Amino acid sequence: MLSELLRASSSKPPNQLKKIHGLVLTTGFSVKNSLLTQMLENLVLVGDMCYARQVFDEMHKPRIFLWNTLFKGYVKNQLPFETVLLYKKMRDLGVRSDEFTYPFVVKAISEIGVLPCGFALHAHVMKNGFECLGIVATELVMMYMKFGELSSAKFLFESMQVRDLVAWNAFIAVCVQTGNSAMALEYYRRMCADAVQFDSFTVVSMLSACGQLGSLEIGKEIYDRARKEDIDCNVIVENAKLDMYLKCGSTEDARVLFDEMKQKNVVSWSTMIVGYAMNGDSKEALGLFAMMQKEGLRPNYVTFLGLLSACSHAGVVNEGKKYFNMMVQSNDKNCEPRKEHYACMVDLLGRSGLLEEAYEFIEKMPLEPDAGIWGALLGACAVHRDMNLGQKVADLLVETAPDIGAYQVLISNIYAAAGKWDCVDKVRRKMRKLGTKKVAAYSSVEFGGKIHFFNRGDKSHPQSRAIYEKLEEILKKIRNLGYVPDTGSVFHDVETEEKESSLSHHSEKLAIAFGLINARAEHPIRVMKNLRTCDDCHVFAKFVSRLTSRDIIMRDKNRFHHFKNGVCSCRDFW
């Protein structure tokens, strides 16, 4: 009777499960692990992990299956610390783990982010002889990728005895998730060379990778191959292709695909809105939202993130406030403002010159401001060269995120632009003392089925000589058109000629020169930059587009810049 009652209770709310548990206890059946097992599984299913742990602790010598059930519940409910503590208790009691234990524990340690714990757990896996099992090895590979231990991840993946599609998909997906899209592309090609038949999961990951890299042609090639091989190109795949187009700056192709899609969901609409915003086409983003409302589709937090970003790039403060208030007043949990939305509002107010209002907005926030929110205000201070507020925000950021050098670089640039070199030196000394490092800037261009990377002053590329010759030729011509290098924020203790030389070798300029040499005249030059492009490179690109009548599409950390006939789509509001 009780067993039937428990089996029927799997979909019941936790309070009803507790009543049934009480009945089990009062009838004297609590010693029967079979009944408690069913109770535990049901509690894990509904997510009541506190009560599930209480039931588990009442059990007499629970089998490994029950330990794994609890591990699964903790991981599913995002309780990594509890998972690790339970694993420690299990070892202390001498309970032998099995092949189903370690995937949960490895996943938990990945979430916690403590590398020494990961190494220790890997040692346990090896000691117990489970390292060669596909599911365990795959989770270990993913853990090392999340820790940034690329060499360990690659070595472990290479040594896996069973290299099936699940393992390939998992490895490629985690490459993309951790920002190693070039590696994802490398392993996709190896997978194809090994004649492993890919599926729609592979396609989604690779389209995402191509979006990150700005590899439009490679992405199209992968999608076309998927269609040719009759792989199910469902709405998830179509959304990934949509996202790729937009992240490569091809809004026209994206809109054609969007209009032709037989199935559209909230992800499709949100992807288009975010993409239009990122590409600086705020009018289209807001117009698409109006269409979405007419269709009766409910927006989510991503939709609003796109709307606020569109308003920020366009500098339309009142519109941005309207959408933010719409979120605040909504009863939909999916539309509640998150920290990213607050950061967008700070960016909108700050970039529009309303720096004090932005500061007050942060002080009144119901959430604790993080580095992203203070960083948005610091970026606005840099745009408007407000040293006083900038210094105040920088001091707050040192407390919030002392290890992020980008914010120290921003305040340093504010001082440099104002010619306060003693303050610049002070900030740089502080950076050295804190051990903070500036992220190395690089730019990339896709050509000939490959991604070509450039660093400042880079001479490692096979076409390096031709690139520098082309760059000198272009610089000479655009100077005649009125281009003057902006040396204001470049090292104060070097001569003007040296400052100009430093600017002329920025990665964006090298990438553009490479594009001018190699890309066909009718094709735009697509440049991807990992950081915000500098003012001088922005001016340079405008002059080059005017001189050569070539379209240049540049994606930096914040947004796209579409240069055409000497004008940028951002209207210099960035």
Q: Which residue reads 């203790």 in tokens?
A: 493
Provide the mean pLDDT of the chain.
87
**How many CB atoms are located within 10 Å of the residue 197 CB?**
10
pLDDT digits (tens, 9 = 90+) for 178-220: 889 999 999 999 999 989 999 999 999 999 999 999 999 999 9
| Best CA proximity match to 405, nearest among 442, 429, 436 | 436
Which of the 8 DSSP states describes residue 534? Answer: P
SS3 state at 147: coil
Q: What long-range pairs does 144-150 form, CB within 8 A, spacing at least 24?
A: 144/118, 145/171, 145/174, 145/175, 145/177, 145/178, 145/180, 146/110, 146/113, 146/174, 146/177, 146/178, 147/110, 147/113, 147/115, 147/118, 148/178, 149/115, 150/180, 150/183
Do 212 and 176 meet the contact criterion of CB atoms below 8 Å apart? Answer: yes
Q: What are phi and psi of 280, to 5 degrees?
A: 80, 10
Distance of alpha carbon 317 from alpha carbon 437, whole angstroms: 35
Strand partners, 560: 555
The tokens for 33 are 């692990």
Domain ranges of the chain: 338-439, 463-568
Q: Which fold has domain 338-439?
A: 1.25.40
Question: pLDDT (tens digit, 9 = 90+) per residue, 380-407?
Answer: 888 888 888 987 887 787 677 766 667 7
Segment 413-417 shows an average pLDDT of 75
Instruction: Dig out the tokens for 193 from the structure.
Output: 């060379």
Inter-axis angle of helices 339-351 and 301-314, to 10 degrees?
A: 10
pLDDT of residue 34: 66
Please say whether the beta carbons of 149 and 109 come within 8 A.
no
Q: Say which residues have a Cβ less than 8 Å from residue 174's Cβ, sequence separation at least 6.
A: 141, 142, 145, 146
Inter-helix orientation angle 339-351/317-329, to 10°? 160
Q: How far is CA 290 from CA 215, 264, 268, 287, 545, in A?
A: 31, 16, 15, 5, 34
Instruction: Give the closest residue to 143 by CA, choosing from 125, 163, 122, 128.
Output: 122
Average pLDDT over residues 434-455: 87
Return the H-helix or E-strand segment holding 381.
helix 371-384
Task: Give the per-residue pLDDT at 213.
Answer: 94
pLDDT digits (tens, 9 = 90+) for 76-135: 999 999 999 999 999 999 999 888 999 999 999 999 988 899 999 999 999 888 877 778
Global confidence as pTM:
0.83
Does 1 have pLDDT greater than 50? no
Cα three-residue angle 31-34-37, rounded to 5 degrees: 100
